[in-house]
């Protein structure tokens, strides 16, 4: 078995954590219980790219329990939990695997990869082979942010063109690595990616960002296979984004800084689902939260929820904590850094690290970057003022804490499993396009998580269902219902 992880000896600790997490992921465990025998994913070869955490480990092993072959990389160079990666490679007790004889799933991920390593490992998730050792590639993708989907599409594009652009065609350091990997592959096999693409039945995508890329591709006609947008399942966007961040935002701040949040002024940039969860997180600790927003509807929601809503410029000199949640770029820039108070804390829980202008920060004359501990830096200005930046501007809940907790990820990941099964088993129903899961599956995901919380669900009588014009067993709401 090929794999590449930091330290396989961490597997024992990882297995204990996986065991604990399974109890907190009732949706995934119910998937195993329902489909463990029928194995609807038998024959599926899933190439996955998603933060290699304990929760992802439970997802991977659920996919395997449903019959799939899986290969996995991370979608983020810092977020891997090395004990999780090791444990997945070793495999569950039922696999008979051990540190000396791993029998689990091939994983290619460790905490702190370089960008070059990242793209080298991303390429490897496509290396499924048949029993004879011939490369056959995956037939399903599971993606977070769209990196492996992009790699495959770019590979096909360059093979069609017969050439990969030179690395000096771009200023983007990361894209140089993509070009390097694809140039190497073109040299080895000029139809490598095209062959793979022909086998792919579909991709299931986890995030807003990846979904936007998919819609763009679909609009321009370049999407090669159907996609399910998992991000916009209610049980993903309204739970993972909101309640996950409510949990993990303060967890990241606490582990990173140990600073008291109570009594402080915290600015949350953006009041979408992530912003709503973040604001609640900070308020729950006694911070006074100020919101910035561009959308008047979200701004009015923030005001009605009792938050002050200001432009960043108006409060940058007095606030103590700054958190970006926007999915946009250049939210906090050099001019803001210059005006912040000594020991202001800056972090991002939105998506990309460009929400905060880290490059601009580094270029401020005389500034010194000093590591306090991993993922926590003080940037010391010439006059001695320090700004604390978490996770170098990347997602602080992953870099400074352990990401979202298992229970909320169980919602997102049960959507992933259902989406994989849907695309893999109902190929004919999904021509090339971007889909969301049907409402009844979204409701089913929620239903699977109620018992664990002691929730009693009320059942409609037939008369009540008729009165509302819905089936007794749901779905209950129109597709545009906002929850």
Residues 391-420 that bind a copy of itself (CB under 8 A): 401-402, 404-408, 411
Instruction: Please state the closest distance from residue 116 (CB atom) to a copy of itself, in A.
Output: 26
Q: Judge contact between 72 and 107, C-beta under 8 A.
A: yes
- The answer to whether 147 is a known ligand-binding residue is no
Region of 30-38, 40-48, 89-97, 236-244 interacting with a copy of itself (CB under 8 A): 236-244
Q: Closer CB to a copy of itself, residue 134 or residue 458? A: 458
Residues 279-338 that bind a copy of itself (CB under 8 A): 280-281, 283-288, 292-312, 314, 318, 327-330
DSSP 341-393: PTTEEEEE-SSSGGGB-HHHHHTSTT-EEEEEETTEEEEE-TTS-EEEEEGGG
Residues 463-482 that bind a copy of itself (CB under 8 A): 463-464, 467-469, 474, 476-477, 479-480, 482
Q: What's the helix, strand, coil split of the chain in %, to 5?
A: 45, 15, 40
- The answer to whether 411 is a known ligand-binding residue is no
SS3 for 140?
strand
Can the peptide bond before residue 475 be classed as cis, meaning omega within 30 degrees of 0? yes
Give the C-alpha distances (Å, rounded to integers) separating 471 from 64, 75, 474, 481.
Answer: 34, 40, 5, 17
Instruction: Please state the closest distance from residue 359 (CB atom) to a copy of itself, in A.
Output: 15
Tell me: does residue 132 bind a copy of itself (CB under 8 A). no
The number of beta carbons lying within 10 Å of the beta carbon of residue 284 is 12
SS3 for 294?
coil
Instruction: Please state the closest distance from residue 365 (CB atom) to a copy of itself, in A.
Output: 23
Tell me: does residue 444 bind a copy of itself (CB under 8 A). yes
Residues 354-373 that bind a copy of itself (CB under 8 A): 370, 372-373
**Structural tokens at position 407:** 């229970």
Residues 72-131 that bind a copy of itself (CB under 8 A): none
Q: Closer CB to a copy of itself, residue 11 or residue 200? A: 11
What count of Cα atoms within 13 Å lies in the side-chain half-sphere of residue 25? Answer: 30
Q: Closer CB to a copy of itself, residue 100 or residue 463? A: 463
Give the C-alpha distances (Å, rounded to integers) separating 97 from 87, 318, 369, 377.
Answer: 10, 55, 44, 40
Q: Site for a copy of itself (CB under 8 A): which residue of 262, 335, 369, 471? A: 262
Q: Closer CB to a copy of itself, residue 50 or residue 84? A: 84
Annotated binding site for NAD(+): 207-209, 241, 270-277, 293, 328, 349-351, 397, 404
Annotated binding site for substrate: 53, 144, 206, 236, 240
């Amino acid at each position: 078995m090929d794999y590449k992880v930091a330290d396989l000896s961490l597997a024992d600790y990882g297995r204990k954590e996986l065991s604990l997490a399974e109890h907190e992921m009732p949706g995934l465990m119910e998937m195993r219980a329902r489909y463990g025998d029928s194995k609807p994913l038998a024959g599926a070869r899933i190439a996955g790219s998603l933060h290699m955490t304990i929760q992802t480990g439970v997802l991977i092993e659920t996919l395997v329990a449903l019959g799939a072959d899986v290969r996995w990389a991370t979608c983020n160079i810092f977020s891997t939990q090395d004990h999780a990666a090791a444990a997945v490679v070793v495999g569950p007790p039922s696999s008979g695997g051990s540190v000396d004889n791993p029998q689990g799933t091939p994983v290619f991920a460790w905490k702190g990869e370089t960008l070059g390593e990242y793209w080298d490992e991303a390429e490897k998730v496509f290396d499924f082979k048949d029993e004879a050792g011939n490369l056959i590639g995956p037939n399903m993708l599971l993606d977070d942010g769209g990196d492996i989907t992009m790699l495959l599409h770019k590979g096909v594009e360059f093979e069609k063109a017969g050439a990969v652009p030179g690395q000096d065609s771009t200023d983007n350091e990361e894209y140089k690595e993509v070009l390097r990997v694809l140039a190497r592959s073109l040299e080895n096999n000029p139809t490598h990616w095209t062959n793979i693409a022909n086998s792919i039945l579909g991709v299931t995508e986890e995030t807003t960002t990846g979904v936007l890329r998919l819609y763009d591709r679909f609009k321009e006609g370049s999407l090669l296979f159907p996609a399910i947008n998992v991000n916009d399942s209610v049980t993903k966007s309204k739970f993972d984004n909101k309640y996950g961040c409510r949990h993990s935002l303060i967890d990241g701040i606490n582990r990173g800084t140990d600073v008291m949040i109570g009594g402080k002024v915290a600015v949350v940039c953006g009041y979408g689902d992530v912003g709503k969860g973040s604001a609640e997180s900070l308020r729950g600790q006694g911070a006074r939260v100020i919101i910035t927003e561009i959308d008047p509807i979200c701004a009015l929601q923030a005001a009605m929820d009792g938050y002050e809503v200001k432009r960043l410029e108006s409060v940058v000199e007095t606030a103590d904590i700054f958190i970006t949640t926007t999915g946009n770029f250049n939210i906090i820039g050099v001019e803001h850094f210059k005006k912040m108070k000594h020991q202001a804390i800056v972090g991002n829980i939105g998506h990309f690290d460009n929400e905060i202008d880290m490059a601009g920060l580094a270029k401020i004359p005389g500034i010194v970057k000093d590591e306090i501990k991993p993922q926590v830096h003080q940037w010391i200005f010439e006059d001695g003022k320090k700004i604390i930046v978490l996770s170098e501007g990347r997602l602080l809940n992953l870099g400074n804490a352990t990401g979202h907790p298992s229970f909320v990820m169980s919602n997102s990941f049960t959507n992933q499993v259902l989406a994989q099964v849907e695309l893999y088993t109902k190929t004919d129903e999904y021509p090339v396009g971007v889909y969301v899961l049907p409402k009844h599956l979204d409701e089913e995901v929620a239903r699977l998580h109620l018992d664990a919380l002691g929730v009693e669900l009320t059942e409609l009588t037939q008369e009540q269902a008729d009165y509302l014009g819905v089936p007794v067993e749901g779905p209950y709401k129109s597709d545009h219902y906002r929850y």
